[in-house]
């Protein structure tokens, strides 16, 4: 990663938003089945022959970085199930222009991989964690809580900073644990972000029955803690507060109650090489056929510039909740 070389940012969408962030899904597979994300028993994954290879991914990210994209987040599905991920990270870490390489994970495999990921060039990670109760964790995700805790603690020891905990806050599911999660994050020096459920696919729509407006969560926290304005590097949509007298920053990601489409700075690349322009819309552009047909580097830049012109103005999660058929893990959340 070279922080000194600057390329001219030229990727601007039709609404004047600069695209400087790409979320890169390295797999649509996952070893958990969070009920708001992936259906139980789901196995209809993309065929391996359709997965972009590490060389193909590197090419696309290089092109984006030439066009001014500074931030890359590796996600999925669960990114740590993709074999040899540190090899890809190492490649991406060498690219001029990429200043920030981060990872979102469910942490089930962090216990084994944290050090390798750190050595390869990941400095900051986001970990999904919706509950601190082992039995509840099993109900929400189908997985083992102890494994995730072991992964988180190994990541802490490996020195990732910050470690952000992503908690999808849901009425009647885990809203009784909001304060416990705050205390847990203070104790471990993690950052905490609450996320509103999004109606993505049938799973997301069913989970939206438990939708919790994060304004209520903020109000509840303000009754117990003194909240002061907070900031956090990262380029994402979270709005932060800090708890006075502690280092804890709490972010609120509110796609439903207070959407942030006007500042959207990102696109998503799925494992099969499709660029998705918006989480909540179908606008997309398929890069894989062109990459495999031998497109030149120059043409690839033009194609990406064209793809960005397809970016819609906003999602319509509230007005058209039935619209998004893909669930989150297919797009790269
Ligand atoms: N497997 C990794 C993880 O869980 O962090 C990365 C991919 S996951 C799809 C990325 C994020 O999407 C997670 O924080 C997860 O909680 C969130 N997510 C998935 N489905 C969602 C939904 N319907 N509404 C809101 N957030 C969702
Ligand atoms: Fe897997 Fe992440 Fe989706 Fe949970 S949210 S099922 S961990 S991809």
CA distance 87 to 60: 16
**Owning domain of residue 219:** 5-331
320: number of Cβ within 10 Å? 12
Would you state the pLDDT for residue 325? 67
Any atom of ligand 1 within 6 Å of the Cβ of 32: no
Question: Mind listing the pLDDT tens digit for each residue in 95-133?
Answer: 999 999 999 999 999 999 999 999 999 999 999 999 999
Any atom of ligand 1 within 6 Å of the Cβ of 256: no
Domain count, the chain: 1
Quote the percentage of the chain above a pLDDT of 90.
Answer: 79
Q: Are strands 21-25 and 266-269 parallel, antiparallel or unpaired?
A: parallel
332: number of Cβ within 10 Å? 28
CA distance 220 to 26: 37
* CATH number of the domain enclosing 275: 3.20.20.70
What does pLDDT average to over the chain?
A: 92
Ligand 2 atom nearest the C-alpha of 38 is 6
Confidence of residue 245 (pLDDT cuts 50, 70, 90): very high
> Is the pLDDT at 318 greater than 80, yes or no?
no
Question: Measured over all CA atoms, what is the biggest interatomic distance in the chain, rounded to whole angstroms?
Answer: 60
Both tokens of 277, joined, read 């322009």
Phi-psi region of 163 (alpha: psi -120 to 50; beta: other; left: phi over 0): beta
104: number of Cβ within 10 Å? 20
Question: Mind listing the pLDDT tens digit for each residue in 22-58?
Answer: 999 999 999 999 999 998 888 889 999 999 999 999 9
Q: Whose CA is nearest to atom 5 of ligand 1?
A: 105
Q: How buried is 1 (Cβ within 10 angstroms: 0-12 exposed, 13-18 middle, 19+ buried)?
A: middle
Nearest to 28 by CA among 40, 46, 41: 46
Q: Whose CA is nearest to atom 8 of ligand 1?
A: 333
Nearest-ligand number for the alpha carbon of 198: 1
Question: Mind listing the pLDDT tens digit for each residue in 128-183?
Answer: 999 999 999 999 999 999 999 999 999 999 999 999 999 999 999 999 999 999 99
């Amino acid at each position: 990663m070279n922080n000194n070389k600057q390329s001219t940012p030229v990727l601007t969408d039709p609404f004047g938003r600069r695209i400087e962030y790409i979320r890169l899904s390295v797999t649509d597979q996952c070893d958990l089945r969070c009920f708001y994300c992936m259906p139980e028993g789901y196995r209809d994954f993309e065929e391996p022959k359709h997965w972009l290879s590490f060389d193909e991914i590197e090419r696309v990210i290089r092109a984006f970085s030439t066009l001014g994209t500074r931030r890359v987040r590796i996600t999925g599905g669960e990114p740590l199930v993709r074999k040899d991920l540190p090899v890809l990270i190492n490649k991406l870490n060498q690219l001029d222009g990429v200043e920030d390489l981060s990872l979102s994970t469910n942490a089930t495999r962090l216990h084994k991989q944290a050090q390798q990921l750190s050595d390869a060039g990941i400095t900051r990670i986001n970990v999904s964690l919706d509950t601190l109760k082992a039995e509840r964790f099993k109900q929400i995700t189908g997985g083992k809580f102890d494994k995730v805790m072991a992964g988180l603690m190994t990541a802490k020891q490996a020195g990732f900073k910050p470690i952000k905990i992503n908690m999808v806050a849901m009425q009647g599911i885990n809203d009784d644990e909001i304060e416990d999660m705050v205390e847990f994050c203070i104790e471990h020096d993690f950052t905490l972000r609450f996320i509103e459920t999004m109606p993505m696919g049938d799973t997301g729509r069913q989970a939206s029955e438990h939708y919790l407006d994060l304004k209520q969560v903020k109000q509840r926290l303000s009754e117990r803690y003194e909240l002061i304005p907070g900031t956090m590097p990262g380029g994402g949509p979270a709005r932060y507060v800090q708890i006075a007298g502690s280092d804890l920053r709490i972010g609120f990601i509110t796609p439903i109650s207070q959407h942030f489409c006007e500042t959207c700075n990102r696109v998503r690349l799925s494992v099969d090489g499709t660029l998705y322009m918006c989480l909540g819309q179908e606008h997309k552009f398929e890069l894989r056929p062109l990459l495999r047909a031998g497109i030149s580097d120059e043409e690839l830049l033009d194609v990406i510039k064209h793809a960005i012109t397809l970016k819609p103005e906003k999602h319509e999660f509230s007005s058209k909740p039935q619209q998004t058929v893909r669930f989150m893990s297919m797009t790269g959340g």
